[in-house]
Chain A
Amino acid sequence: MEIRLAGISRPEALRYLGMRGPVPPDVDGDLDRCEAILRRSVCPRGAWRCFDLCPDGTLSGTAFRPEGQSVRELLRGCSRAVLMAATLGAEADLLIRRAQGKSLLDAALLDALCNAAIEDVCDALCADLAREFAPAFLTPRFSPGYGDFPLSQQPLFAAALDLPRRLGITLTDSFLMTPQKSVTALIGVSDRAPAPKQGGGCAACSFSDRCLYRKGGATCGR
C-alpha cells in the first residue's frame, strides 16, 4: 500500500549529515530544494501482516522463527507479532545515484533526507498499526541486523511478507535490501502494557560499542 510522506524530519536529516549548531541558510535552502525533488519523485510504500506466535516462537503459517535474545525479550508476553516493511522504492536510489553524476552535495543531501524520510514512513505506519491494534499494545519496532537479531533471517522475513511482489524489495547475497531505502521490522502485539524499555535502546544495539553519538554523549534516539 502507498503511505503518504507527511513530514520529513529536518533535524534527523541534519543528524545524518553530521551537522551541529545553527544551520547556515544556504544549506537550509539546498535541503528545501532537495526535499522538493524527493517529494516529486518518491512514492513510499509499506506492507505488514500479523501472525500468531506458536509456542516455539515460529510465526504461525510460516517457516520463520525470529532468532536471538533481543527478539525473545521483545516478544515476551506477546501472543502475536506483526512483520512490517516499508520502502521509498527504486526511485529514491535512482535519484541519489543520478545526483552523484551532477552534484555530490545534492547526492549527500538527498541521501540524508531519504534516511530521515524512511524513518518517518515507518513511524507513520507504526502509528496506523497502533490504532489498528488498539486496545492491544505494540512493542517498539525491531529490525534484523540490530542486537542479535540476525540479518541472515531477512530471506524468511521477505518470504513471509512476500516482499518482492508487494514492495519490489529483494535481497543481496549479504542480505542487504534493494532498494536501499527500505526497512523491515518485527513488532510484538500484547494484550497487556509492555514493561518499560522493552526492546529498542542502546543496550539492544550492536553498534553501541562504536557509536559516534554515544561517544559524543548523545543517542540516535531509537
Chain B
Amino acid sequence: MLLDGGMGTMLQQAGLPLGVLPESWNITHPEVVTGIHRRYVEAGSQVIFANTFGANPLKAAGSGYDLEELISAGIRCAKEAAGTHAQVALDVGPLGRLMEPLGPLSFEEAYEMYCRVLKAGEAAGADRVIFETLSDLQEVRAGVLAAKENTSLPVWATMTFEASGRTFLGVTVPAMALTLSGLGVEALGFNCSLGPAELTPLLRELRAWTDLPLILKPNAGLPDPVTGSYPLAPGEFAALMETAPSLGARYMGGCCGTDPAFIRELAKKQAAAEPAAEGRPRRYGICSARSVAETGRVRIIGERINPTGKKRMQQALRENDLDYILSFGIQQQEAGADILDVNVGLPGVDERGMMIRVIQGLQAATDLPLQIDSSDPAVVEAGLRTACGKCLVNSVNGKRESLDAILPLCKKYGAAVVGLCLDEEGIPETWEGRMAIARRIVEAADRVGIPRQDVYIDCLTLTVSAQQSQAAETLKALRAVKKELGVQTVLGVSNISFGLPERQQINLSFLTQALAAGLDCPIMNPNQNAMRKAVAAFQVLSGEDAGADRYIQLCAAMPELPPAAVSAPAPGGSKPEANAAPAGGGSPLREAVIRGQGSEVVRLTEGALSQKTEMEVIEQELIPALNEVGDRYERQMIFLPQLLRAAQAASAGFEVLKARLAAQNRPALSRGKILIATVQGDIHDIGKNIVRVVLENYGYTVLDLGRDVPPEEIVETALREKAPLVGLSALMTTTLPAMEKTIRMLREAKVPCKVMVGGAVLTEEYAREIGADYYARDAKRSADIAREVMNGLAGGGEN
C-alpha cells in the first residue's frame, strides 16, 4: 500500500516562509495544501497524511489560530483531495518539548495534549492516526494510549532513527518494536532522517522483533550538509526501496526531499515487489526504552528494591528518600542485573504514588527493564502506565480474582507477566499440582491474547528447613513447565535457606540445580559475588557465554578477596593523598573525610560508634572535618572537586549512622529542615544538587523540590513542612524574575522562613534587591547560612 511523500518541503516551495506554522496554511491557503495532496493521490498514494504534523497545543499557542480549527481544516483539505481514492490519516508529530526526566514535559501533560489533537482529528473525519518523526518512546506511548483510550482511530506509529540504530534519545529498534507492538498499534516503522539504503538494516532488525506490518517513509537520501538538498532521484529512491516488502514493509512512501514523482516511481516498482517470506525467527523479551532483556538466555532479576525485612529501606520509603532507594537500582545494574524488581509496598506508605516516583527515578538512573511487583492492581496499573518500555508484572496467580484483575492490565499495556503456581487452595505440594496451575495461567493468558513468550511461570521456592521434600518438587515442576508449556520461568532463590547455617551454600546449590532444570530468570541479589558468579559459570557450561568472555571479564572485575584484605587495609596500600594540602591534625576519621576516602570513612565511622553516640560522631567528627574542608575551600587551598570528594566521603559516613539508627528502630537524626528548589522556568540543577549534598552532610534534612518549580508549590511546601530556611537557585538572567516572585509570594503568605538564593547570575546586591535574606555564593556558604539560621532558632550562638 502506498503512502505519500514530503509535505513540508512542498509547502516551502509554494512560498511558506520558515518559522510560519505550516498548518496555518490549512486555513489561509487551503487550495495550496489540497493541491499538494491531490498530486500525491494522482501519483498513486492510497493513504495521504493530512497537514497536521505540528498541530498541537504548544505549537498552535503562538500562532493565533485555534488548534481544533487547524486540524479540522487540515483534514478537510486532505479529504477533498482524497475523494474515494485514498484514506486520510491524521498526522501527529512530536509536541516540540522534551519529556521528563531530561526535559520539563510530564507524561500526563503530553497525554492531555495528544487527547485534544486526536479528538479533533477523529471529529474531523480522519480514517486513522499516524504518529511520526518521534524520537522519544515515552512520547509515542503517551500518544498511543491517548488514541486508544479516547478515540476509535486505528493507530500507526513511526519513529526517527540515526544510522547508529538509535533515536536522538537513545531508543533502540527492539525497544520500539516490543513496546509499540505490546500497546496494540496496527503498524509501525521508520520515517525521516535516513535514506532507504541506511534504513534497510534497521528494517531487518525491526522485523525480527514484531509480527506487525511495517511502515517505511525514508528521506530522499542523506542531505548535503552545505546545500541541504537530497541526493536521490525518484527512480533511484524507488530502486532502493525494492527489497523493503520482502523485509516486511507493507506501507511505503517518502519523507523529506520526496515529492509526487517519487511516489509515482514507487508505484511502478511495487507492482513487481515480492511479499515478505513467512517462517522467520522471532525474538522476544522485555525492555526499557534503551535496552532489552531478551529471552533465550539467563537473565538476573535484581531483588533488592523491596522493604521486606530491611529496616533502612523501610525508613527510606517512609521518608520519601528516593536517592537511597534508587542507589539500589544503580548498584544492581552495575553488579550485572538484567531486570530490576520494584516492590515499594509498606503499611503507611502511599504505594501507588511511591511506585510512580520510584519508576520515574529508576528509568532516569538506569537502563534496565523493570519488574513491577505489587499485589494491588491499582499500583500495577500505575506502574505500567508510568514505565517506558515493556515491563514484567509480578504477579498473577491461579486464583480467578487475580487472573481477572491482572491479565487485562498486562494485555492493555503490552506487559509480560509472572504467574505464581498457587491458587485458592494454596501452594500444591506436588509438582503435578503446580504444573496444573501453570497450565491454567497460560490458558487464561492465551484467552486475553498474551503470548506464551510473555508468560513467566514461578514454581515457587519453599524453605527447605521447614518442608524438605519441597525443594525437589519445585525443581520437578520447573522441568515440566519449561518442557511442556514453552514459557519463561522465574524463581526467587534465597527463600530456600531460611533457618540454616551458611545460607549461601544452600542458595548456591539450589540456584545451580534450578538453572540446570530450566530456570530462565533467577530473582536474586546480584551484589553477592558468589551468586553472581554462579550464574556466570552456568552460562559458560550451557554454552550461552561463547568463549567464556563474560565470565572472564566478571572474574577480573570481581576478584575473590583474601579474608585479611576485607577486615584491614593492606599495609602501604592506602590511596594517595587526595588533597594537595596536608590533612591537618585530627582524628583518623576526620582526616579520612578531608582526604575524601569514602571506604575509610565507613570503616572508621563504624569503629567510632563503639565509643560515641551517633550525634557525637556527627558533631565531633564529621562536621569538624567538613568545616576544615570548607575553610580550605574558602582559602582556595582546595577547589570544587576536592570539596565534593570530601562531601561524598562524609555522606558514606552518614549512611552508616542512618542504617544503624534504622536497624535499632530509632528516629533519624536531623539538625533542622531546609527546603531547596530551582525556580520556575529554570532547568539547571547541578548547583542546587551540590548544595543539597553539602547540607545533608551537615545533618540537615533537605527537602528538594527539584527544578522548574512553581512558586505556589514552594510556598505551599514551606508552610506545610515549617522549614525555617528556603534555598532558591537560578542560573539564567531570564529566570531571576521567577526567583523574585517566589520570594514575594513567600513573604505575602507570611511563611516564617529565611530565604537564601544562589546561582551564577546572582550577586550580593541583587539578592538583597529581590528580598532574599542571604546570598549563598557557593555550597560552603549555604552551610554557614544554615548554621546561622538554625542556631538563631535554638537561641544559641555560633559553635
Query: Which residues in A have some Cβ–Cβ distance to B below 8 Å?
Result: 1, 17-22, 24-27, 30, 43, 49, 61-64, 89-91, 93-94, 96-98, 100-105, 107-109, 111, 132, 145, 151, 155-156, 159-160, 162, 164-165, 167-168, 170-176, 178-180, 206-207, 210, 212
Bound: A175/B330 CA distance, A: 33
Give min CB distance, A58 to chain B, whole Å: 9
A-B contact count (CB 8 A): 153
Give min CB distance, B113 to chain A, whole Å: 14
Interface code B180-205, partner A: CB below 8 Å = 1, 0 otherwise? 00000000000011000000000000
Bound: A89/B229 CA distance, A: 24
Residues from chain A with Cβ under 8 Å of B104 in the complex: 172-173, 178
B506 within 8 A of A: no
CB nearest to B576 among chain A residues = A26
18 further A-B pairs in the complex, CB-CB below 8 A; given A63-B18, A160-B18:
A17-B639, A17-B640, A26-B577, A61-B12, A63-B19, A64-B18, A90-B170, A94-B170, A96-B686, A97-B101, A100-B686, A104-B689, A162-B18, A164-B96, A174-B735, A178-B104, A180-B684, A210-B763
Report whether A103 and B18 are in contact in the complex, using a CB–CB cutoff of 8 Å: no
B172 within 8 A of A: no
Report whether B365 and A98 are in contact in the complex, using a CB–CB cutoff of 8 Å: yes
Which segment, of B350-358, B472-480, B644-652, faces chain A? B644-652
Of residues 638 through 696 on chain B, the ones whose CB sits less than 8 Å from some CB of chain A are: 639-642, 644-645, 647-648, 681-684, 686, 689-690, 693
CB nearest to B777 among chain A residues = A212
Give min CB distance, B667 to chain A, whole Å: 26
Report whether A170 and B644 are in contact in the complex, using a CB–CB cutoff of 8 Å: no
Known contacts A43-B164, A180-B684; A27/B641 CB under 8 A: yes
Known contacts A100-B689, A164-B96, A210-B763; A156/B644 CB under 8 A: no
Report whether B641 and A105 are in contact in the complex, using a CB–CB cutoff of 8 Å: yes
B326 within 8 A of A: yes
The 5 closest A-B pairs by CB, nearest first: A168-B168, A63-B19, A174-B681, A178-B98, A62-B18
Bound: A173/B57 CA distance, A: 13
The contact of A25 among B12, B17, B576, B733, by CB within 8 Å, is: B576
CB nearest to B96 among chain A residues = A170
* Residue of A25, A159, A171 with most partner-chain B CB within 10 A: A159
B133 within 8 A of A: yes
Residues from chain B with Cβ under 8 Å of A155 in the complex: 19, 62
Report whether A174 and B364 are in contact in the complex, using a CB–CB cutoff of 8 Å: no
Bound: A173/B580 CA distance, A: 44
The contact of B102 among A97, A100, A167, by CB within 8 Å, is: A97
Bound: A180/B326 CA distance, A: 23
Residues from chain B with Cβ under 8 Å of A167 in the complex: 168
The contact of B639 among A19, A104, A156, A164, by CB within 8 Å, is: A19
Report whether B20 and A63 are in contact in the complex, using a CB–CB cutoff of 8 Å: yes
Give min CB distance, A161 to chain B, whole Å: 9
Residues from chain A with Cβ under 8 Å of B365 in the complex: 97-98, 101
Chain B contact residues, majority secondary structure: loop
* Residue of B19, B103, B160 with most partner-chain A CB within 10 A: B19
Report whether A108 and B640 are in contact in the complex, using a CB–CB cutoff of 8 Å: yes
Bound: A43/B330 CA distance, A: 24
Report whether B97 and A172 are in contact in the complex, using a CB–CB cutoff of 8 Å: yes
Bound: A145/B104 CA distance, A: 20
Report whether B97 and A171 are in contact in the complex, using a CB–CB cutoff of 8 Å: yes
Report whether B578 and A26 are in contact in the complex, using a CB–CB cutoff of 8 Å: yes
Residues from chain A with Cβ under 8 Å of B97 in the complex: 170-172, 178
Residues from chain B with Cβ under 8 Å of A27 in the complex: 639, 641-642
Report whether A160 and B19 are in contact in the complex, using a CB–CB cutoff of 8 Å: yes
The contact of B169 among A63, A103, A168, by CB within 8 Å, is: A168
The contact of A107 among B228, B579, B686, B734, by CB within 8 Å, is: B686
Residues from chain B with Cβ under 8 Å of A24 in the complex: 579-580, 642
Give min CB distance, A175 to chain B, whole Å: 7
Give min CB distance, B733 to chain A, whole Å: 6
Give min CB distance, B316 to chain A, whole Å: 14
B245 within 8 A of A: no
B327 within 8 A of A: yes
Bound: A179/B761 CA distance, A: 21
Give min CB distance, A220 to chain B, whole Å: 11
CB nearest to A94 among chain B residues = B102
Residues from chain A with Cβ under 8 Å of B228 in the complex: 49
B419 within 8 A of A: no
CB nearest to A179 among chain B residues = B102
Bound: A68/B164 CA distance, A: 40
The contact of B636 among A20, A25, A63, A151, by CB within 8 Å, is: A20
Residues from chain A with Cβ under 8 Å of B760 in the complex: 212
Residues from chain B with Cβ under 8 Å of A175 in the complex: 734
Bound: A170/B94 CA distance, A: 10
User: Would you give 17 A-B contacts (Cβ < 8 Å), ordered by A?
Assistant: A24-B579, A25-B576, A63-B17, A90-B98, A96-B686, A101-B323, A101-B327, A105-B645, A105-B648, A156-B19, A160-B19, A170-B94, A173-B104, A174-B682, A178-B103, A179-B98, A180-B683
Residues from chain B with Cβ under 8 Å of A173 in the complex: 104, 681
The contact of B732 among A108, A162, A174, by CB within 8 Å, is: A174
Interface code B95-125, partner A: CB below 8 Å = 1, 0 otherwise? 0111001111000000000000000000000
Known contacts A104-B647, A104-B648, A174-B735; A17/B17 CB under 8 A: no
Report whether A90 and B682 are in contact in the complex, using a CB–CB cutoff of 8 Å: no
CB nearest to A63 among chain B residues = B19
Known contacts A62-B17, A64-B18; A30/B641 CB under 8 A: yes
Bound: A49/B18 CA distance, A: 12
CB nearest to A207 among chain B residues = B761
* Residue of B102, B364, B579, B684 with most partner-chain A CB within 10 A: B102
Interface code B724-752, partner A: CB below 8 Å = 1, 0 otherwise? 00000000111100000000000000000
Residues from chain A with Cβ under 8 Å of B364 in the complex: 97-98
Residues from chain B with Cβ under 8 Å of A168 in the complex: 135, 168-169
